[in-house]
Amino acid sequence: MKIPFMAGSSVPLAQRRPPLELPPKVQVLEAVSIHGGPFEGYDFHGLEVLQSLAEFRAGGETGVSSVQMLNGAALWKAADDGLWSPKLADAAMAAELGSRQPTLRELIQRPPFNTPAPWGILIRYRDGLRAIVLKIGEKHTRWNFACRLAGNPEPQATSFYVGPWQNRNLFKALAHAIQTHFNERQAPYPLERTFLTTGILESAVESRYQSGKSLETPHLQIAYQPRDFRALREMGASWTIITEGMPEPAGIHPGGRRP
């Protein structure tokens, strides 16, 4: 019917602090995405944050070969086995908290980071990229990312800043993307991104059900090319109008206001 589809998380549209743009056609060796929300619902957003950057690597997206849900000791054994990098996770957390922070292993022993226990979705891409989406602490505005690029030993890291009023202002940028979708009659970023992230999430849930078994994912051989969506992303201009000290307007209360 020639009707364009649009899907995806609002979080990749948030402002990146510090600014981070991957060089064109760069080789990404490993990546970490960190969130602080509940299982599945926020794992999806963490996957979208990961994918919104990883898809710009050399060759574009080629799909995912395996997915594994990791909890408890299995999470840290995978790190010790070199399947994901705690140092890269340290860089991702430093983008949010500042550089003078303890390591992730130390951080998760302290309040408020020690509850609930962390978990991770370990992802192996078909082109060799290794990635993990981690749940750390219980802060619903925690959206951090770090990656390591070929030929550059220094981690590249950023934190996705959502603005005042918790995650509410993410929908400002999302509304802008939806308007662009209607006006230009094409999705502002690839639908395949969300096709892939929801497939990864489904496999992660199945891995969790199977006690953390690593699952091969031949059905996730989803290849696509990225689309530059910088014109839709929040770059910080909104926060000169909506400031941290501005009271949050009342929202909609389903079923009426509660006492």
Tens of pLDDT, residues 92-127? 999 999 988 899 999 999 999 989 999 999 999 999
Report whether the peptide linkage leading into residue 247 is cis, meaning its omega lies within 30 degrees of zero: no
Average pLDDT score over the chain: 95
Kindly state the tokens that stand for 109: 């022993």
Distance of CA 198 to the CA centre of its chain: 13
Work out the average pLDDT over 166-182: 94
User: If DSSP codes are grouped into helix, strand and coil, which group holds residue 2?
Assistant: coil
The confidence score (pLDDT) of residue 112 equals 92
Inside any domain, residue 96: yes
In the three-class reduction of DSSP (H, G, I as helix; E, B as strand; rest coil), residue 89 is classed as helix
**Structure-block tokens of residue 250:** 């009342």
pLDDT of residue 249: 87
pLDDT at 252: 75
Question: How many beta carbons lie within 10 A of that of residue 13, not counting itself?
Answer: 24
pLDDT score recorded for residue 65: 98
**Which tokens is 218 given?**
């031949």
Residue 191 lies in a domain: yes
- Are 186 and 4 contacting, i.e. CB atoms less than 8 angstroms apart? yes
Mean pLDDT of the 121-147 span: 97
Distances (CA, A) of 205 to 18, 67, 221, 251: 32, 10, 19, 32
Pick from 192, 189, 191, 149: nearest CA to 63: 192
Q: Which residues contact 183 (CB under 8 A, 6 or more apart)?
A: none
* pLDDT recorded at residue 259: 67
Domain extent at residue 167: 11-240
Residue 12 has pLDDT above 90, yes or no: yes
Asked whether residue 2 is assigned to any structural domain, the reply reads: no
**Residue 244: CB partners within 8 Å, gap ≥ 6?**
164
Mean pLDDT of all residues in 175-187: 95
Task: Give the CATH number for residue 212.
Answer: 3.30.360
Domain count, the chain: 1
Q: Are the CB atoms for 194 and 48 separated by under 8 Å?
A: yes
In a domain, 252, yes or no: no
Residue 251 within any structural domain of the chain: no
In the structure, what pLDDT confidence band is assigned to residue 254 with cuts at 50, 70 and 90?
confident
> Is the alpha carbon torsion for 4, 5, 10, 12 positive or negative?
negative
* pLDDT for the residue 1: 82
In-domain check, residue 15 = yes
* Cα dihedral value 169, 245, 34, 210, nearest 10: -70
In a domain, 253, yes or no: no
- SS3 per residue for 158-206: EEEECCCCCCCCHHHHHHHHHHHHHHHCCCCCCHHHHHHHHHHHHHHHH
The interaxial angle of helices 41-54 and 191-209, nearest 10 deg, is: 130
- pLDDT at residue number 125: 98
Place of tokens 């649009």: 6
pLDDT digits (tens, 9 = 90+) for 238-250: 999 999 999 998 8
